[in-house]
Every structure is written in structure tokens, then in C-alpha cells.
Amino acid sequence: MQDDHHSPPPDGQSLPVPQDRHPTAHVEPGSRNALALPREGSGDDADTIDLRHYWHILLRRKWTVLSSLGIVFFAVLVGSLLKTPIYRATATIQIDRDAVKVVEGQGNDSDAYYDAENFYNTQYELLRSEALSQRVAAELKLAKDPAYLALQKASLGGKIKGLLGAASTAKDKPGASASATDSDSADLADYVNGNLDIQPVRNTRLVQINFDSASPALAAKIANSLADNFIAQNLEHSYNASAYARKYLEGRLAQLKQKLADSEAELVKIATSEQLVVGADGKTTLPAVDLSNLASSLADAQTARSLAEARWKLASSTPGDALPADMFTNSIIGTLRQSRAQLAADYQNKLNTYQPNYPLMVSMKQQMDELDRQIQKEYANVKASTKSSYEAAVQHENLLRQQMDTVKQQMFGEQHRAIAYNVLVRDVNTNQALYDALLERYKTIGIAGGVANNNIAVIDRADVPIGPYKPNIKLNLLVAIVFGLGLGVGLALLFEMLDDTLKSPADVEAHLRLAVLGVVPKLKNVAPHEAFKDTKSAFSEAYRSVRTALQFSTGSGVPRSLLVTSAMPGDGKSTTSVALARNFAQLGKRVLLIDADLRNPSLHRQLRMDNEQGLSNVLSGAVEPQAAIHALDDEPGLQVMTAGPLPPNPAELLAGPRMLSLLTVAMAKYDQVVIDSPPMLGLADAALLAHIAKGTMLVVNAGGTRREAAISSVKRLHAAHARLVGAVMTKYDAKQSGYGYSYGYGSYSYYSYEREPAKLERG
């Protein structure tokens, strides 16, 4: 018996750290822990997110979640109801990309230097500019506006300023008036700018000008004034740009005009000094004209000479009668030919009548011969005339060539003299072109300056808002619900992370690796001894369930000597000891209940017994064991040994041989010995008792026993070679745990007996 009692713990009965957010140990199963659980889970299970686990956390911490939700919801509701209603007025304008060009090609071309995004961002910033805000404040005379003054007085800043008497203080200081005016102007601009919201309409050129104010009429008035003054400011900017351009162009035109006059005067001076004749186009004319005319005449002379030469060659090589008719246009050859032809015809006719020697015929023959002689003479005259014409054409051509050479020499000299003149001509033309262009642009800007180019238009003017823009109570409450739930869930998870207590049987099994022998519900407004009186209650039934589980805790049934301990005080070990002792006695067993807590005993108070003699007297040898054992009137099978007077050295008494002898004798006389021991941590008493007891049961307070404390207790029990049979969870509230043990642990009424027979019959 002693060998088994002092045998070393089995291998692997250390407490390694599990996969959890807190370092926890697991008690490995051993040969003496009949109901210890095997190691569960694998690496894959550890990586799996158990949503039910988080749901159980939220159920257990539901009051934290609901409290956070309620606080945030109530705070937002009260804040929304107390907040001053703000009205929003909206004016819509259209902004087009259209920039005035002062001079063609200069830097006001928006497409050349700025893209659309930069252009519109610039317009938005101009709408938010302090200059525009000051302009609106000045135009509306906000400093004297009753609505604005009423809002300022009602605001917190206005109340503070009124209490401090800022106005009276400012009057007493030199120069305070100008300073106050500047300050008021800045305040007005800040008010306008601070309540302004510019919202571009997506994928359009429309821009919404929103203004928020506690006064709906003031909001609409300022929104419309912002739109109108923005347009006016844009027009003024365009006009100022045109005015600057006109002023600039006037100076440039004066400079170019003077430069043009100087260049023209210099041109006339050079033309006079070089004796150059200038045409209307500004170029020298005489040599060029003469050369042109001579060139034309020479070309005509060359053509005439070629034609005369061809006629002469044809006439000199062709018989007279074969010459073409166009050579006789100015000759009587045609008449002579016609007369001879007629005379020859008459002669032939008269040959039929007269002989050739007939005088008439001879006369006619003589006439024919004379005509032939005249014709030949005319042929010779035509040829001579053709030659004369050719020679005249050659002489005319040569003369023209000589004249042309002379004119060329004159023109080359004039061109040499006209080099400086031509340079000045180009200078004059350039100055004239620049002057004309600037003059035209100046006229254009003059026209544009009268009607400024406006690329901004009001689409919708702001109306006086009917309902407040904010606070939006519905939206605020919706956000409060979401935020409150989020805060509550976050706090619940945070508290859960900070809370390292064992809250459920699953926690005991997972972290302590001990079988849960039973779960005892938490009593509400009922003392344990009162709950024991009701044998049909869930509290009594829970301990009967523990008693039943102990019967299967070892191979030989319930350990003859059972030590009931806990990690910390107040976990319910004394109540558990009394309940188990009573339940074993109800089975007809002889049961001895020993209060071994020699430091803070409680069984005598719970059982309302005398504590003058008890375990301390027995261990010190002052009395015999029988003298320290007391019987209970209501439980004939149960006897109790109280702790007795508190000794100065409890650990020495428990470690002595008398405690082992007492247990040995008690196990021989009683069927069951139940020992109520002190807590494990900080004391050696429980470890000494666990070493000699046949079985040890750990009591865990649901939501009260810290995980590290329980693990340390289990380690100490193993170090003391204790025989752990399991654990009992006390003070368990299924509704607050959120783990869903309603069938096995939460609905204790399922295991308890109904009080009304009628209900039993219906069940």
C-alpha cells in the first residue's frame, strides 16, 4: 500500500504549454488518473477559427456589449437632441474652361499649360479663398446682420467674449479701433469660410456651394452671395487682365510707331543719297523696268529676225512662181498674174480664128511677154525686199542687245547701291507688320474689355432650407448602434483576453487535462445548507451526479480517502466536502468528514458544531480520535471531525505520522473518508494531505479560479504524488457562461424532480 502510495508519477505527466493565448499547462493522463482526458486536437485544429467560441464569449459578456451599446446610444441621442440644428443652403454654379488670351501665343492658354484637373482645383480654392469670404461678409454687412449677431451671442465663444468684456477692453487701448476692425473682419471671413463646403458634382462641370448655419435664411443668403461674388470676382479678374493688357499694348504700340517712323525716314534718306527711284511697292524701278522692256523687245526682235531669215532663205532658194502667196501681200504680182492669165486665155481663144502672125495676135503676144517681164521683175523685188527685211531685223536685234548690256550694267550698279536700302525696307516691313498686329489686338481687347468674358454661371440659386441638415438623428443613432456594438464587442474580447479564469468545463478539460466529475450550479440568494435541505433541487442533484462519477473514477470505485482541495480560498471546497459526505451517507455508507484546514476552518460553522476538540487535538496527542468525532442528528451515517483549535504549526502536524495513522484507522472503520483541506497555493498543507490520501479531487470556481493558479495547483499535486481523480466546477452560471451547456450543465431542472405531481404525469 505504501509502495503504491509513494510511487513516482508516470512519464509524460508534466504540464506542457498548449496552443492558447495564455501559457497554460495540460496534465497528461497517468495510471493514477483514471478519468484524465487524452491530449486533443492537432496543429490544423489549432489554426482553425472557432466562431462558436467567440459567440460564446459575446453571450457571456453580453452585459458588457449591451452596456457599451446603451451608453453610446444614450450619449449620442442626448448629444443630438441638445445640439443646435444646422441648416444647409446649396447654390449650384457651372464653371467652364475659357481663358482670355491677351496676345496670341502667350501664356494664358489653359490647354497649353494646365490640365482640367488643375484648372478646376484652382477654382475650388478660389471659392474657399479668404478674399472671397471677406468680400461676401462686406457685401452682406454681416457685422450688423441681426441673424449673425444672434448666432454669435448664442455661441459659446460669444458668451465667453461677453463675460470677458472684450469690447470695453479694446476701447481703452490706443489704436484698438483699427485692430478690432481687422479682427472683426478676420472673424467674419473665418465664419464664412469655416461653414463653407464646396462639392463638385461628379463627371460634370457643376459645383455645389453649400453653406451651413443655424439660421436657414442666413445660410441661403450667404450661399447666393458666394455664387454672385465669385462670378463678379471672376469678371473683375478678366477686366483687370484686359486693362493691364491694354496698358501694355499701348506702350508697345508707341514704341513700334516711333521705330517704324525712324526706319521709314532712314529709308528715304538712303534712297535720296543713292539717287534711287522707288516705286509704289518700295522697290527701285527704272533699271528694272528698262531691263524688262528691253528683254521683251529683244525677244520680239529675235523672233522677227528668225522669221525674216527664214523668209529670205526661202525666197533665195525658190523660183519666183513657186514662192508662197503670203510673200506677195504687198506686191502687184497677183494682179499681173491675173491679167496675163486672162490675156493668155483670150490669146488661145483667138488662135482658133487668127494666125499667130496676125497683128492682133502679135500684139497680144507682146502684151503677154511684157506681163511676164513685169512679173519676173516683181519676183526679184520681193526677194530683194525679203533680204532687206532680214538685214533690218538683224541690225535691230543687235541694237537691242547693246542697249540691254548697257541697262544691265546700270542695274548692277544700282543693286549694289540699294543693299542698305533693301535692308531698311525689310526692317520697315517688319515694324509695320508688328505694329498692325498689335494694333488689331489692341482693338480686340478694347472691345472685349467692354464686355468681360464670363465662364461661370449660376444654375440653381439657394433656397431657404426647410429642415435641418444636421444633426441627423437617425444617422447618428445608426452610427451609435454600430459604434456601440463595435466598442462592446471590442471590450468583451479585451476583457476575455484579460480574464484568465476557468469559466466552463471545457476550460478545465482543455487547460488542466482533468475530467470534469460534475458541475454545480451557482446559488442565488440561498445558503448552501438551505439548498441541501431540498433534495430535489438542481444543486443537490449536481452533487449526486458528482458522487456517481466518483464511483467510476478508479478501477476500485470511490477512493476510500478522498481529499477535496482547491487552488484558492472561496472556491467551494468545504461545501463540496459536506455535500459529498452527505451523499455517501445517503447510500448507507459510514462516512467520516474531516476538516483538515487548520488555518481557516469552516465546517463547524457550516454544520453548526462545537470546535473545541478536533483534528488539531488528535494530531497533537491531546485527545483520542473518538473524542474528536461528532455525529449529526439529521445524518446518522455521517460523522464529522472538526479542525479544532488553530495550532501554531499546522504543516508540522499534518506531516507527522499521526495523520497517516488517523487515516489508516479511519479507512478501516469507515466506508468513506472525506477530507476538507486548505487551498493549494501558498500552503504546504494540501500537498501533504494529498500525498497520503487515496484520491484527490480539485474544486474549480467557475469564473473565479485563475487558470495559472489551477495549473500551479495541479503541478504541485503531481509533485506530491497525489492521485488526481478529476475536478468539480462550482458556482457555474449557464446563462452567464455563454458556452451553451444548457443540456448537460445549464438546465439543471431537467435532472431535478418536479414539485407538482400533475407535471410529472404530463411528462
pLDDT tops 70 at residue 455: yes
Domain co-membership, 491 together with 621: no
> What pLDDT, on a 0 to 100 scale, did the predictor assign at position 214?
87
What is d(CA 120, CA 108) in angstroms, rounded to the nearest whole number?
15
Share of the chain above pLDDT 90, in %: 13
Q: Looking at residue 449, what is its pLDDT? A: 53
**Is pLDDT larger for residue 467 or for residue 318?**
467
Residue in this structure with the C-alpha cell 522677227, named with its chain if needed: 304
pLDDT of 166 above 60: no
Question: Are 578 and 673 contained in the same domain?
Answer: yes
Q: Where does a domain end: 417, 436, 451?
A: 417
The answer to whether 93 touches 206, Cβ cutoff 8 Å, is: yes
The last residue of a domain, from among 462, 496, 530:
496
Same domain for 529 and 621, yes or no, is yes
Whether the pLDDT of residue 648 is over 50: the answer is yes
In sequence order, what are the beta bridge partners of 200?
Answer: 207
Residue with the larger pLDDT of the pair 397 and 448: 397
Report yes or no: 612 and 668 within 8 Å, Cβ to Cβ: no
Segment (H or E) for 629? strand 629-631
Q: How much is the average pLDDT of 622-634?
A: 87
**How far is the C-alpha of 689 from the C-alpha of 739, rounded, in Å?**
35
* Average pLDDT across the chain, whole number: 77
User: In whole angstroms, what is the distance from residue 340 CA to residue 643 CA?
Assistant: 193
Residue 541 resides in a domain: yes
Give me the helices (H) in 466-602, please.
473-498, 505-507, 528-533, 538-551, 573-586
471 prior amide bond cis, ω within 30 = yes
Mean pLDDT in residue range 493-497 = 83
Determine, yes or no, domain membership for 116: no
Residues 702 and 662 in one domain: yes
Q: Is the pLDDT of residue 99 over 60?
A: no
The larger pLDDT score, comparing residue 5 to residue 430, is at 430
Question: For the chain, give me the number of helices (H) and strands (E)?
Answer: 30, 12
pLDDT at 102: 43
* C-alpha span between 192 and 532 (Å, rounded): 77
* Residue recorded with cell 464511483: 551
Q: Are residues 597 and 481 in the same domain?
A: no
Res. 377: pLDDT tops 60 = yes
pLDDT (mean) for 239-264: 74
Mean pLDDT of 385-409: 79
Q: Is residue 194 part of a domain?
A: no
**Pair (374, 479) in one structural domain:** no
Hey, how many other C-beta atoms are within 10 angstroms of the C-beta on 685? 22
Q: Are residues 646 and 678 in the same domain?
A: yes
Of the pLDDT bands very low, low, confident and very high (cuts 50, 70, 90), residue 16 is very low
Structure confidence at residue 416 (pLDDT): 64
pLDDT of residue 12: 36
Q: How far apart are CA 653 and CA 647, in angstroms?
A: 9
Q: Which amino acid is at 384?
A: A
**Cα 560 from Cα 453, distance rounded (Å):** 109
Question: Per-residue pLDDT tens for 100-139?
Answer: 444 444 445 545 445 778 888 888 898 889 888 888 988 8
Nearest alpha carbon to residue 642 among 617, 679, 673: 617
At 617, which CATH number?
A: 3.40.50.300
pLDDT surpassing 70 at residue 482: yes
pLDDT band for position 417 (50/70/90)? low
For 200-235, give the DSSP string.
EPTTSSEEEEEEEESSHHHHHHHHHHHHHHHHHHHH
CA distance 573 to 565: 6
Q: Which residues contact 296 (CB under 8 A, 6 or more apart)?
A: none
Q: Both 655 and 733 in a single domain?
A: yes
Going by pLDDT thresholds of 50, 70 and 90, the confidence category of residue 207 is very high
Domain membership flag for residue 3: no
Is residue 363 domain-shared with residue 484, that is, in the same domain?
no
Q: What does DSSP say about strands 724-732 and 516-521: parallel, antiparallel, or unpaired? A: parallel
The confidence band for 56, taking pLDDT boundaries of 50, 70 and 90, is confident
At 594, is the pLDDT very low, low, confident or very high (cuts 50, 70, 90)? very high
What long-range pairs does 104-107 form, CB within 8 A, spacing at least 24?
104/441
Give the mean model confidence (pLDDT) for residues 33-40: 49
Per-residue pLDDT for 347 more than 90?
Answer: no
Residues 489 and 561 in one domain: no
- Counted domains in the chain: 3
Any residues with CB less than 8 A from the CB of 511 and at least 6 apart, and which? 18, 20, 24, 25, 26, 502, 707, 710, 711
User: Is residue 645 a part of any domain in this protein?
Assistant: yes
Q: Are strands 561-566 and 695-701 parallel, antiparallel or unpaired?
A: parallel
DSSP reduced 3-state for 611: coil
Residue found by looking up cell 534712297 in the block? 271
Q: Assign 3-class secondary structure to 518-530.
A: EEEECCCCCCHHH
Closest CA to 560 of 600, 589, 523, 601: 589
Q: Which domain holds residue 394?
A: 286-417
Q: What is the dihedral of CA 646, 647, 651, 654, to 10 degrees?
A: -80
Provide the residue type at 606 as one letter.
Answer: Q
Lowest mean pLDDT among 415-419, 616-620, 736-740: 736-740
- The average pLDDT across 353-367 equals 84
Q: Report the distance separating Cα 157 and Cα 160, nearest Å.
A: 5
Q: What are phi and psi of 605, to 5 degrees?
A: -75, -40
C-beta separation of 534 from 751 below 8 A: no
- Confirm whether 434 is domain-assigned: no
Query: What DSSP character marks residue 501?
Result: B
Strand partners, 278: 284
Q: Give the residue from 429, 462, 496 where a domain finishes.
A: 496
How far, CA to CA in Å, does 194 sit from each of 123, 190, 368?
A: 18, 5, 132
Residue 328 belongs to a domain: yes
Q: CA angle, corner 746, sides to 745 and 748, nearest 5?
A: 80
Look at residue 305 in the predicted model and tell me its pLDDT.
Answer: 78
Identify the top-confidence range among 297-306, 345-354, 616-625: 616-625
Asked whether residue 29 is assigned to any structural domain, the reply reads yes
pLDDT exceeds 80 at position 415: no
Q: Please choose, from the candidates 143, 212, 288, the residue with its C-alpha nearest in 3D space to the C-alpha of residue 472.
A: 212
| 516 vs 309, higher pLDDT | 516
CB atoms within 10 A of CB 145: 18
List the one residue out of 262, 269, 273, 281 whose CA is nearest residue 427.
262
**Helix (H/G/I), strand (E/B), else coil: 761:** helix
In this structure, the answer to whether residues 492 and 586 fall within a common structural domain is no
pLDDT value, residue 429? 79
For 715, the grid coordinates are 503541478
Task: Indicate if 394 and 537 belong to the same structural domain.
Answer: no
CA 424/CA 403 separation, integer angstroms? 31
Q: For 2, how many CA atoms within 13 A lie in the half-sphere containing its CB?
A: 3
If residue 666 lies in a helix (H) or strand (E), which one and from where to where? helix 657-669
